[in-house]
Every structure is written in C-alpha cells, then in structure tokens.
Copies of this chain bind each other. A is one copy, B any other.
C-alpha cells in the first residue's frame, strides 16, 4: 500500500510543528508519560522493580510503527497494541497500572496541543514583529486609503500595516490566557472519578493527588480538570481551534489587501530567484503566497467546524465518536495555522512597496479627497454650504467623467475649481489645501508608533520571535 502523506504537514507546516504531531513523536511522548507515571507510582510506594524502569527507558526510542500497526489489526485496540509493543521491547509488564486508555491519550494529546499552542504563539509574535517593522519602514508613505475598495481619505502605508498588526495583537492577547489556563484532564480513570488510582493506592487520596501533581509536573502544564468524565470537555478543543482561526484573521485580511494592492501595482510579494511558470514574466509576478495564506485560513475554518461538531455533543461520561475527528482536526488545524504563519513571515520578508505607484494614486485621488476641506474653506470664504457643495460636485462629476472617458489623463479638479469664480478659492488657496491635506494624514504615523511600542513587551517575553526565519516555502 502506497502511503499517502498528509499534504498540510508535508507542503506547508514547519519541521517544528511536524515534530509535535508526528506518529513517532507521539509514541515517544506516550512512552515518556508511562515512564513518568511509573516513577511516580514507585516513589509513592507501589512495588515496581527499578530494572523495569531502566528497561523501559532503554527501549523507549525503538519505535516500529509497522509492528504496532500489526498488533492493532489483531487486537482491534490501538492503546493495547502500543502497550504490548512497549512491554515486549522492555521485557516487563509494569506500565499503564491503574490507567485507562484515556488517562494516557487525553494527557498526551493535551500535551501536544499545549506545545503546539506555544509554538503558534511564538510564530504569531514573530509575524507581529515583522509586520510592525514593515509598518515602521512605511510609516510616512502617503497612501490613498480605500473604503468600499475606492479611495476615501489619505493614510500611510505604515498605518495600513499597523491596522492588520493590531488585529493580530488582539488575537495574541486572546490566545495568551487560553494557554495560561490550559488544563489537562489528569489521571481520572474510566469515568472520571479517579476510582482506578484510588483502588491502586487503597483509597489513599493524598497519594492520588500527589501522583497527579507529579504527572502534571512531567507534562509542564499547571492545571488539571477537577470533575471530568472519561474525556475532557470537547468545547476546550473548540476554544483552541477557534483561537487559531482568530490568530489567522489579521494575516488573512493583510494578505487579501496585499492582493488588492498588487492588482494596482502598489505593492507585491517580490520576485523569488528561480521562480518559473506563468509568474516568470514581470507583469505576472503574482500574489501566490498571499493567495495561499487566504486559502489556509479557509482550511482552518473547516477544522473549526469539526470542533463545533464535538462541542456540546457529549453523551454521558463520553465515548469515541470524537476520536476520528480529533485525529484529523487537531494536527491538521495546527499544520494549517503553522503554514499560514510561515507564509506570512515569508511575505513580510519579501514584500515590496512601489512608492511611485503609491504616489501616482495619491495624486490622482487627492483633489477628490480634498473636497471636504475645500467645502469648509469655501463656506468660511462666505459661500453658502449648499451652493458650495453643488459647485464642487458639478466639477467633481465632470472631472471624473473626463478621467473615465479618457478625455483627460491627470486629475484637473483643482484647476476647474480655481477657475470657477462662484467658489471664491483661487489656485494658491487650493494648492494650500492640497498641501495641507498631504501634510496631515491624521494620526497615521502616531498609530504606527503605537504598534511598535505595543510589540515590545512581546519581544521581551519571546526573544526568539524577533529573528525567527520562515522555512523556505514550496
């Protein structure tokens, strides 16, 4: 049978994320978990021979997925297959005492999620840092801001980037408490009452509590659930996956906007050396990475849907109807987000702004964007508000029409208005207005400064994020 590889893992995710979710990696996590439980049980008085622990330690990295699979086909039970394999390798039968399958699998999967969340946070910080840098570089580059995809007012390129940076920052702030509060189910037994460990320790509650604490310490997670059933509530999975989706939203809006800007030649992804195919000619330098990023956000959405299907659907103390969903959804959602952030980092590394095109667009729209001010000045100069509005609109409509019919190439609205005596504003007055408009794009630059400051505490917490490089992308 030809193995079919996971396309998200192999094409889009980074090595670090793949390592967390790889089948071999998972087996190793499980074995380390078993050994940690074993040691804790021994320390707490269970009769476990030291040579057994040594034996398990020695063979824990001998991972033969095919052998495990063959066992599973016979036993029709995945965890039992893995227990048998590990015991056969070690020559002892001491692991998994007082554990049910879910004590193992819920813990190991929680650990995978936890580590993957930490990695996602790190990368999101890296993306935020990179975005704030690009915002800083372009903080004063005037740009015709667009609402409804048409020019509306001036802003700066940097401010536009800062806008998406703030969205990413908000998502990071939402992710943070999720990681801090993240609970693991713990060794709660078949239906969550801790019966099995209590039995093992002859009802000694203190020892069972201590056992669980040692296991938490091994996992590096602070918190355990207090009253779960066989499984932890699947709405926690939903909280995780929806947090990933939120994390992807700022980059996705950024990518969509960069695709729009590329359509106007205002900006682009840059041109990778050696790139061929339909994108080899300069006019075809397309936004393939931005498109990919947007695609990955859509992919993530599918996993949110899967998580929704599990949340609120627990029957009694639980069952395995969630099993196949989680096998697919958990790694794939993290692979998708990881690929999304890798792509984001790549785009930010190569993105090019074309200042002359940006400026040409400003020039084209500036007269229109100044009309509000012109109106105010005309009113100050004594013209009635309605009259002034009508005059300006008349010329604006005419200028627009002539630009659109090709009668004129450059926007001549200022000239038209200057030559209309009714408005009482001469050319120098209008030029002054234009100059003033350009000089004051509101608080755009200050907002960029704000973002750059806001990023600093994240850089301090996660110094590795400040120079995290994306892996080369396909």
Contact = CB atoms under 8 A, between A and B. Distances in A.
B311 A246 contact: yes
B298 A147 contact: no
B167 A263 contact: no
Contacts of A140: none
A379 to B, nearest CB: 13
A151 interface: yes
Interface stretch (A21-29, A107-115, A416-424, A460-468): A21-29
Contacts of A348: none
A6 interface: yes
A35 to B, nearest CB: 21
A77 B324 contact: no
Contact of A274 (B76, B78, B256, B447): B76
A375 B192 CA distance: 21
Contacts of A297: 312
A136 to B, nearest CB: 13
Given A257-B314, A291-B323, A233 B170 contact: yes
A443 interface: yes
A211 interface: no
Most buried by B among A194, A302, A369: A302
Highest count of chain B CB atoms <10 Å: which of A235, A251, A256: A235
A226 B447 contact: yes
Contacts of A9: 4
Contacts of A263: 146, 149-150, 260, 263-264
A319 B12 CA distance: 18
B160 A316 contact: yes
Nearest to A371: B281
Contacts of A349: none
Interface in A401-423: 401, 403-407, 409
B474 A76 contact: yes
A199 interface: yes
A465 to B, nearest CB: 20
A245 B308 contact: yes
Given A11-B327, A163-B229, A302 B311 contact: no
A391 to B, nearest CB: 13
A382 interface: no
Nearest to A339: B324
Contacts of A272: 76
A287 B246 contact: no
A191 to B, nearest CB: 4
A238 B229 CA distance: 29
A128 interface: no
Nearest to A375: B281
A318 B359 CA distance: 21
B159 A192 contact: yes
Nearest to A209: B443
A150 B285 contact: yes
Nearest to A251: B312
A173 interface: yes
A177 to B, nearest CB: 5
A83 B290 CA distance: 25
A373 B199 contact: yes
Interface in A123-148: 145-148
Given A10-B4, A149-B262, A278-B101, A227 B193 contact: no
Contacts of A203: 440
B2 A149 contact: no
Interface in A147-199: 147-155, 159-160, 162-163, 165-167, 170-171, 173-174, 177-178, 181, 183, 189-195, 198-199
A328 interface: yes
13 contacts: A7-B327, A7-B331, A79-B277, A146-B315, A152-B191, A155-B317, A159-B193, A173-B181, A235-B246, A260-B315, A283-B369, A292-B320, A328-B332
Given A160-B317, A264-B264, A302-B303, 10 more contacts: A6-B6, A160-B229, A166-B225, A189-B442, A227-B451, A283-B396, A302-B302, A305-B305, A328-B332, A354-B405
